[in-house]
Amino acid sequence: MHFQSVTFDLDGTLLDTIADLAEGCRLMLAEVGAPARSQAEVHSFVGKGMAVLVERCLTHGQAPTAEALYAAIESFKRHYSEVNGRLTQIYPGVQEGLEAWKASGLKMGVVTNKPGMFTEALLERMGMTAYFDVIVSGDTTAHKKPHPEPILHACRLFGVRPDRNLHIGDSENDILSARAAGCPTFCVPYGYNEGKPVDSADCDALVSDLLAAYRQALTFKTS
C-alpha cells in the first residue's frame, strides 16, 4: 500500500454527533436567553469548531458581542460536557473500516476541530480510543482545519511524510487542510460540511464508508 498512516475527521466522519451538539446548543441558548435553533440549523453550523458553532447559533443579522459570545461558549461547554456521547451514533461501516485499517498495521489518528476536553471523552465513551495512535483536537495546535497544521502535526507525531498519509473526512475543511498539508484525501458523503454536499471533484475519492475507503486505498497510486 502507498500509505503509511491514515487520519480521520471525527464529527460527521466517524461519529454522528449532531443530536448531542443540538442538545448542547438548545440548553445553552435557553440559559443565555437567545432564540432556539433547530437541529437542521445546528447541522449546518458544524465544521469550524466550538466557538464558531456557538457564534453561528447566536447570530441573527449581526454577530454577538464579545461578552455575550464568551458567556455562551462557557455555557455550551458545561451543557455539552453533560450530553457528549449520550445520543451519538457510530456511522455504518466505521467499525468494520477501523478494524481493517488496524489490521493493515498503518498508524492511525484522529484530526478534529473539536476541543480536546470533548474529543477524548467522546472516543472513550464510544469505545474507540484503542484504534488511534495520535489524537489531534481543535486546541492541540495554534490553528484548526482548514489550516494544514493539525494534519501536519499528526504526521510529525507518526514520523510519516504528509504525502504518505491519507486523510479521510466529510467536509471542505478536511479537503483544504489535507491539500495544504500535501496529503491525499478521501471523503465520505454522509457528514456535515456546513450544509453543502461534498464535491467529489475536490477530493481523491468519494467513498461510501470507511471500509470502502480502505479498499480504495489498497490500489491508490499517485499521479
pLDDT digits (tens, 9 = 90+) for 42-94: 988 887 878 899 999 999 988 899 999 999 999 999 999 999 999 999 999 99
**pLDDT tens per residue across span 19-54:** 999 999 999 999 999 999 998 999 888 878 788 999
Q: What is the DSSP letter of 11?
A: B
Q: What is the pLDDT of residue 24?
A: 94
Other beta carbons less than 10 A from residue 32's beta carbon: 18
More confident residue, 39 or 155: 155
**pLDDT tens per residue across span 94-142:** 999 999 999 999 999 999 999 999 999 999 999 999 999 999 999 999 9
**pLDDT tens per residue across span 168-217:** 999 999 999 999 999 999 999 998 877 777 877 789 999 999 999 999 99
Which entry of 9, 11, 20, 174 is annotated as an active-site residue?
A: 9
Q: What is the pLDDT of residue 43?
A: 86
Q: What is the pLDDT of residue 223?
A: 63
Residue with cell 464579545: 66
| Of 181, 149, 180, residue with least CA distance to 165 | 181
Q: What is the pLDDT of residue 213?
A: 96
Q: What is the pLDDT of residue 202?
A: 86
Distances (CA, A) of 97 to 51, 124, 189: 31, 18, 15
The yes-or-no answer on residue 11 being catalytic is no
Other beta carbons less than 10 A from residue 152's beta carbon: 21
* Rounded-to-integer distance, Cα 125 and Cα 143, Å: 26
Helices within 127-189 (DSSP H only): 149-158, 172-181
Cα-Cα-Cα-Cα torsion 177, 204, 95, 148, nearest 10 degrees, comes to -10
Element (H, E) at 205: strand 205-206
